[in-house]
Amino acid sequence: MRKEIRIWFSKKGASRFISHLNLNRCMSRAIHRAKLPVWYTEGYNPHVFLSFAAPLSLGFEGERESMDIRLIEEMPYDLLLERLNAGLPPDIRAYEVTEPVMKPGEIAFAEYHIVFSGGDPEGTSEALWRILHNDALIVEKKTKKGAQQVDILPYFKNAGILVLGGGVMMDVTLPAGSEGSVNPSLFLEAVEPHLGASVLAKVQRLRLLDREKREFR
């Protein structure tokens, strides 16, 4: 038997600073520790076969991240989650197991929730509005061909801004797939000089979407 499953997890707190490569190791260790009946690669140095849908930038929180593994034996999913979580750092929590519906290659967008805390919320929201209503927002994007000047403003036209409590929230859906992606950190770097020095931006990736903006499943 060989059954592909998709494990959904959140990555928050201190675990935001686990790089993609290290997340891979961390998950492998947890799976190994949990003695899950998974498929290991063959060869001299066998390791757990696993793959992630889309890498998450260092420092971002992920609400609904996913990882695919192959089971070689049936196992109740709640038991699987319990055993897996026992071996993960406390800030990474696996909470759901599904059978994959889409391929990671179908991912085209990501939904982000950005919280600006500290400073004066009204001032922050005003500054953000102003930037979003400019003609362009030129940033330097590093590509394989070197640094390129690009206008990222069009991607942010759908952004929603809300002043709530002591902070400002911004929700935005950005391209995130094999056909190009826009990282919210490009926006944050560009707006930083226009915000108060004490304003702190924290990025959460809420979920991934396909080309039709249907939730990645």
Partner 1 sequence: MINSKLERILQKVQKPGRYVGGELNSVVKEKSEVEVRFAFCFPDTYEIGMSHLGIKILYSLFNEKPYIWCERVFAPWIDMEAEMQKNGLPLYALESGDPVRDFDFIGFTLQYELSYTNILQMLKLAGVPVLAKDRKELFNIVVGGGPCACNPEPIADFFDLFFLGDGEEVDLEVIELYRKCRKAGASKEEFLREAAKIEGVYVPSLYDVVYNADGTVQRYIPKDGAPEKIRKRNCMDLDAMYFPESFVVPNIDVVFDRATVEVLRGCIRGCRFCQAGFLYRPFREKSVETLSRQARSLCETTGYDEVSLSSLSTTDHTKLFELLDELHTWTEDSKVSVTLPSLRVDKFSVELTEKIKSIRKGGLTFAPEAGTQRMRDVINKNVTEEELKKTVSIAFNNGWEHIKLYFMIGLPTETDEDVTGITELGHKVVDWYYEAENRRKGRPVSVTASAAAFVPKPFTPFQWFGQDTIETLEHKQKLLKSTVRNRKLTVNYHGAETSFLEAVFARGDRRLSAVLLEAHRRGLHFDGWGDCFDFDAWMRIFADLGVDPAFYANRTRSFDEVFPWDHLDYGIRKEFLIEECKRAYRAETTPNCAEKCSGCGAACFGGGICIAKRN
Interface residues with partner 1 (CB under 8 A)?
13-15, 17-19, 22, 26, 28-34, 40, 45-47, 58-59, 87-91, 117-118, 200, 202
Nearer to partner 1, 44 or 145 (CB): 44
Nearer to partner 1, 142 or 145 (CB): 142
Tokens read off for 19: 């790089």
Nearer to partner 1, 34 or 107 (CB): 34
- Hunting for tokens 């260790």 — which residue is that? 29
Comparing C-alpha atoms, which of 116, 113, 99, 108 is closest to residue 10?
113
Backbone torsions φ then ψ of 182, nearest 5 degrees: -120, 120
End-to-end CA distance of the chain: give it in Å, rounded: 23
Q: State the nearest-atom distance from the C-beta of 53 to partner 1, in Å.
A: 20
Q: State the nearest-atom distance from the C-beta of 29 to partner 1, in Å.
A: 3
Q: State the nearest-atom distance from the C-beta of 215 to partner 1, in Å.
A: 29
> What is the separation of C-alpha 189 from the centre of its chain, rounded to a whole number of angstroms?
18
Q: State the nearest-atom distance from the C-beta of 129 to partner 1, in Å.
A: 23
**Angular region, 205: left φ>0, alpha ψ -120 to 50, beta rest:** beta
Nearer to partner 1, 10 or 100 (CB): 10
